Structures are given as C-alpha cells and as structure tokens.
Amino acid sequence: MKRTRVLHWGLGAMGAGAARMVLGKQGLELAGAVCRTPSKLGKDIGDILGVGKTGAQVSSSLAEALGRGPADIVIHATGSFTREVYGQLVEAVHAGLDVITIAEEMAYPWVGEPELARSLDELAKAKGVTVLGTGVNPGFVLDTLVITLTGACIRVDSIRAARVNDLSPFGPTVMRTQGVGTTLEEFQAGVAAGNIVGHVGFPESMTMIAKAIGWELDEIKQEKQPIVSKVYRETPHVKVQPGMVAGCNHTAWGYMDGRVVITLEHPQQIHPGLAGVETGDYIWITGEPNINVANKPEVPGGIGTIATSVNMIPLVRAAAPGLLTMADLPLPRATMGRS
Amino acid sequence: MKRTRVLHWGLGAMGAGAARMVLGKQGLELAGAVCRTPSKLGKDIGDILGVGKTGAQVSSSLAEALGRGPADIVIHATGSFTREVYGQLVEAVHAGLDVITIAEEMAYPWVGEPELARSLDELAKAKGVTVLGTGVNPGFVLDTLVITLTGACIRVDSIRAARVNDLSPFGPTVMRTQGVGTTLEEFQAGVAAGNIVGHVGFPESMTMIAKAIGWELDEIKQEKQPIVSKVYRETPHVKVQPGMVAGCNHTAWGYMDGRVVITLEHPQQIHPGLAGVETGDYIWITGEPNINVANKPEVPGGIGTIATSVNMIPLVRAAAPGLLTMADLPLPRATMGRS
C-alpha cells in the first residue's frame, strides 16, 4: 500500500500531537513540517517530538518544505479564524495538496466568511483538492455527533447540547481568553473588549446542524456569562478566590420562526468538580423519539482534536474536490490499520 | 424542488411506519406500495394508514406498482435475511430503482452472503443505482454510532457496546423468537433448534466496525443465554413465572490475534425494570481516550428503524452506484425540510 505523505503546518501542541499520531499509523508517513518558531527550524521532527530521527524536517515555509520532498496532504494547525489562516490554506491548495485544518471557523466557514469560503471552494475544485475543517469542537461533539444522532429521529423539534469540560490542564493563554481568575467587573470588561472570547465555533456548529437537517435559522444569539466560584480553586497558572471567576459559560441559541430550536452550551472552568459539576458531552434531542446521550467524562479537547484531524485523512484523500464539512464526508472513524 | 418518489415494498409495522413518515416530509412523495396481504391490495395507502386518501395504491407486485406510476427509490421491509430478500432486491435494481432495505443481514451482506453481495453490487453499478441496508440495529446503534465515536480516538484497543431494551410492547412472534415465557429446558432446546434466534445482525455490525477502523477479525463467536426471571412478569401475550425465561441475552465477540477486541451485547427481555435493569444504548471504547457513552432510554426499535430508513433517502439518492453500507455514506441525519 502506498502511504499518504502528511505535512504538518504548525507544530504547537495540536500540530505536534498530530505528527506523533501520524508516526504511529501504518498508512501514513511524516513528510515534513512548516513552523515559524526559529528554534525548531531545520530540526528533525522526531527530535522535537522526542521520538528519535524520522527523516522529516521542519521548514520555515511551504515552498521550502515541498522542496525537501513531496506531500499529499497538509494538517493545518496555526490559528482559529478563517481570515487569519486563509492565505496559508490558499497556498496549500495552490500547491495541489489536500488540507485538513483545525481552525475553528473553518469547520463551517460559510457562516463567518462566506466570500472567502466560496473562493476557497472554487480554488480547491479547480486544483482538484479537498479542504476540510475539523477538530473536537467545532467538528465533532457539538455538530457531527448531534447530526448523526438525529438520523434515528422521525421528527426533531429542538436540540440542546452541552460540552462541560475542565480547563485546569491549560496554560495562561486559555486562562486569559476564558476569564479565569478575573473579578466580575474584569470579566464583563474583558467580554466587552473582546479579550475574553469564550468558545470559537458556535455559529459554525449550529449552522452545520441546521443545514444538515434542513432547517434555516433566522438568527443566532450568543452570551458569555462568568462562572463565579463559591470556593477557592487554583492551578499552576491561576488562583481563584471565592467570589472570583472560575471560567466562562458560553451559550448560543439558534432561532427559527422566533423559537429557539438549537441551544449549544460550553461552560468552561477550572476544577468543575469543586462546584459539583460533572464533566461530559451531552446531547438532548426533543422529537420522535427523544434522545438523551451523555459521554462522561468529555472527549479531552486536545486528544479529540488531534484524533479527528488525523483520522479524517483517508476520507479527505478519497473525497470529491472542494471545500467540505464533516457533514459531507462519510462517518468519521479511527483508521489506518491496526492502531 | 422535485420530490423523491418513494415506493414501499412491505407494509408491515415498519413499512407502514416508513410510509407515514414519508407523507410528513416536504421533499418526499408516496409513489405506491407492494404488499402480499390480500386485504390491502388495491387500497389507497392512506386508508391503510388511517390518514385519508393519498392517491398512492397498494399493488401485488413491483411491475404492477410501477405500471401505476414511476418511482425513484424503494423502502424495502419484507424480511431479515439476505438470501430471503435477494430476489426482491434484484427486481428493484433491475427496474432502475435505488433501494433502502431494513433486512438485518443486508446491513453488511458480505459477511453472511459474500457471493450474493458481490452480484448485487455489480448489478447495482451496471444499472446505476444504489442499494443500502440500514435500520436501528444493525445499521445505527451498534455500528454507525460506534464507528463515529472512534473518530475521536487516537488509538482504539477494544470496543464494547450494549443495547439494553424492553420487549414488553412486542407481539407473539417476538416473544417466541426471543424465548420469552419458556422454561430453561425449552429455551435451550429452542436455541439448539434455531427457533429462538436472538438478535440478527451481530456479525454484520461487528464486521462493519472492524473494516471501518482497519481491523481484520479472525473469528466471531456468539452466545444466547436465557434471562431467568426472579419475579413474575407479564404482557398481553405472555406470562413469566419466577424461574422462567423473560428474554434472551445475546452476545457476540470479535477476535483479533486471539484477543477479544469487539464485544456486542443485546439483552432483550420483557419488563427489564422489574429486574432493576435500566434500558439504554451503551458504547464503551477503551483506547486514547476512553469513550463512555450512554443513551437512556434506548432509541426505540421501531421508531429508529423507520427513521433511519427514510432519513437515508436523500443520501442514497446522491450516492455513487453500488451496494453500500452506512459506513460508506455521509453522516446520517434527520432531513427533508422542516420536519
């Protein structure tokens, strides 16, 4: 069997994790990496992963990486927003590579950047390659799984899904963007200023669900509420006194004909257990029949994002050209030989 | 939008339920039905469903039905086994119709009838139509959902899934085929004679999962154990004294390299609540990460089978020709307009 040659654009926690996963899969081969961190340039990817030599090097640009050897597909992990990563995606498509990106907005880019999405779709079709946005969320828990479960429903009246997770393992950037350790006033000011962002991906997941099942949403509303702690909580990066903010409860509502038909919730905080909160992925569908799914604990964010990005490689390689979503492709699956 | 014309082959509980669902969907149109029950022949399907005139009639053969008007796709619900329904499927394919069948073995017919599967695949490709086997199980809970969940896994070590349901609503045929109301001796004799069949579909679900994630199973073992009741249970069709059999606990194990890697369980009994058993669909994946999903209560068998068969219509209409499985098609979904 000819192995698929995978190029990693971005070697942060997600990109490096994906490279490590690729190394463990029979049908995949590490082709190289593109990274902007000076200390990693020119190194063997295996040295960065701490797994010994792989023969695949880190380059400073896509052109340099492809000069070192050919690739079939890019795993792209450099940013969250379509506008921010668009130029890189175009460059990969122009080079004739399939692309899987974990940029959250790219899970359903038509909702945030319809013109960029249209251009990228046309370009991908012209170049005969496939572009997919995926990840644990958006990309899996609050959209792919929800859509799949509606398949067993004669009728869907409304959908509510929640991803309840624990931020304790994350670093200072996540603490800052979720408002962990702020006072109530600081939290409100951070939300107003756009520094406390909550979850990126609700409009994307919601529109993906709606389109898949044939709903047209009139409006999407979102709200970020502080999770005020009643108890002391701390991590290596932050201390939260009682009365301070332990995280951000971000909720989105999708309306059709003036009625909320989709509610997506993502309360993220450090040490939810200290507040009696059980983490998990929850999906409730009201209809015929009702569906009441829980995955406890939740799919870990990092592992889930790494897994979905790499697991989709064979499906993307086999797919029709264009800019696709998880709803366009066959069932996701762990794949590539005895894993 | 041009509506898809659906012909129902078989008007038992499942076929009639599918016809009722089709009537409620914007993008679908009832084209007719084929049925062997003399009292239904020539009638308007709406009269049989108790919903008024639909203009679609019940015919005694496919040729007669197509003589009354054209169709695009057949929902086929006349039997469980590939060999039993093969002739009907071939007839529908020869007529140039896409086919969705709920025959359990057809969810993955290569495992039970590889030659018939190959022939049907070739014929479907030659005629440019698509054939799919689906249903709640096999077709959804113990295969489609399991495969989808592995998509979030970097590594899968083993899979266990259980569908725990309540047989109380079912009629005398189900009581007989699951051994409800038998003595222990009668149960063992019934299993040996092949009259107590348990669940049809384990090798199909198991092989579908294995193939999807790149495993090759060496062997599949199955066992049907009596669920002996400690308490009195009854339904309109059966009385179970303490010490008698309330149902059949059917389990299957898939082996790879001498190790069990997939376990599928389907304990079916009347009034499981009287034995403290909570019904539900359960999926446990051991790997990286572990997955621990529960849907409580279970997707009801009838509703789930009706829903999956009708919901897959647009995906089957858009699919490449050939004999396909749920793992080949995009995510299942409730579909066809505001439902």
Distance CA A288, CA A285 (A): 9
Question: Is B330–A335 a contact, with Cβ atoms under 8 angstroms apart?
Answer: no
State pTM to two decimals: 0.97
B122 band by pLDDT with thresholds 50, 70 and 90: very high
Is the pLDDT at B338 greater than 80, yes or no? no
Report the Cα A265 to chain-centroid distance in Å: 15
Is the pLDDT at B248 greater than 50, yes or no? yes
Question: Is A303–B288 a contact, with Cβ atoms under 8 angstroms apart?
Answer: yes
Average pLDDT over residues B195-215: 96
Chain A contact for B307, CB < 8 A? yes
Residue with tokens 């006033």: A185
Pairing of strands A73-76, A98-101: parallel
Output B337 or B242, whichever has higher pLDDT: B242
Chain A contact for B292, CB < 8 A? yes
Question: Is A294–B294 a contact, with Cβ atoms under 8 angstroms apart?
Answer: yes
b/e sequence B134-172, b meaning 16+ C-beta within 10 Å: bbbbbbbbbbbbbbbbbbbbbbbeebbbbbbbbbbebee
Closest to B100 (Cα-Cα) out of B28, B163, B157, B189:
B28
Question: Is B140–A152 a contact, with Cβ atoms under 8 angstroms apart?
Answer: yes
Output A334 or B2, whichever has higher pLDDT: A334
In chain A, whose CA is at the least distance from the CA of B19?
A: A154
Name the DSSP class of B44: B
Residue with tokens 């029979």: A26
CB < 8 Å to A311, chain B: 150-153
Chain B contact for A328, CB < 8 A? yes
Output B169 or A317, whichever has higher pLDDT: A317
Average pLDDT over residues B269-291: 97
Is the pLDDT at B339 greater than 80, yes or no? no
Average pLDDT over residues B252-272: 97
The token pair that represents B208 in the structure block = 């579908």
What integer best gives the mean pLDDT of chain A?
96
Give the pLDDT of residue B171: 86
Is the pLDDT at A62 greater than 70, yes or no? yes
Give the pLDDT of residue A2: 85
B335 band by pLDDT with thresholds 50, 70 and 90: confident
Q: What is the pLDDT of residues A6-54, one digit of tens each?
A: 999 999 999 999 999 999 999 999 999 999 999 999 999 999 999 999 9
Give the pLDDT of residue A339: 41
CB < 8 Å to B287, chain A: 334, 339
Task: Answer for the pair B76, B85: CB distance below 8 angstroms, yes or no.
Answer: yes
Task: Answer for the pair B172, B187: CB distance below 8 angstroms, yes or no.
Answer: no
CB < 8 Å to A331, chain B: 144, 147-148, 151, 212, 326-327, 329, 331
Is the pLDDT at A223 greater than 60, yes or no? yes
CB < 8 Å to B21, chain A: 154
Is the pLDDT at A316 greater than 90, yes or no? yes
3-state secondary structure chain A: CCCEEEEEECCCHHHHHHHHHHHCCCCEEEEEEECCCHHHCCCEHHHHHCCCCCCCEEECCHHHHHHHCCCCEEEECCCCCHHHHHHHHHHHHHCCCEEEECCHHHHCCCCCCHHHHHHHHHHHHHHCCEEEECCCCCCCCCCHHHHHHHCCCCEEEEEEEEEEEECCCCCHHHHHHCCCCCCHHHHHHHHHHCCCCCCCCHHHHHHHHHHHHCCCCCEEEEEEEEEECCCCEEECCEEECCCCEEEEEEEEEEEECCEEEEEEEEEEECCHHHHCCCCEEEEEEEEECCEEEEECCCCCHHHHHHHHHHHCHHHHHHCCCEEECCCCCECCCCCCCCC
Residue with tokens 């779709």: A121
Is the pLDDT at A286 greater than 50, yes or no? yes
CB contacts < 8 Å between A and B, how many?
185
In chain A, whose CA is at the least distance from the CA of B337?
A: A214
B196 phi/psi in degrees, rounded to 5: -95, 105
What integer best gives the mean pLDDT of chain B?
96
Closest to B308 (Cα-Cα) out of B95, B124, B77, B93:
B77
Q: What is the pLDDT of residues B208-217, one digit of tens each?
A: 999 999 999 9
Instruction: Please give the span between the terminal C-alpha atoms of chain A, in angstroms, as a whole number.
Output: 16
Report the Cα A316 to chain-centroid distance in Å: 16
* Listed range (A17-26, A194-203, B166-175, B326-335) with the worst mean pLDDT: B166-175
What are the percentages of helix, strand and coil residues in chain B, rounded to 5? Answer: 35, 30, 35
Question: Which residues make beta-bridge pairs with B285?
Answer: B159, B291
Chain B contact for A203, CB < 8 A? no
Question: Which residues make beta-bridge pairs with B248?
Answer: B226, B268
B336 band by pLDDT with thresholds 50, 70 and 90: low
| Smallest Cα distance from A138 to chain B, Å | 12
Helix (H) or strand (E) holding B285: strand B280-288
Angle between helices B114-127 and B82-94 (to 10 degrees): 10
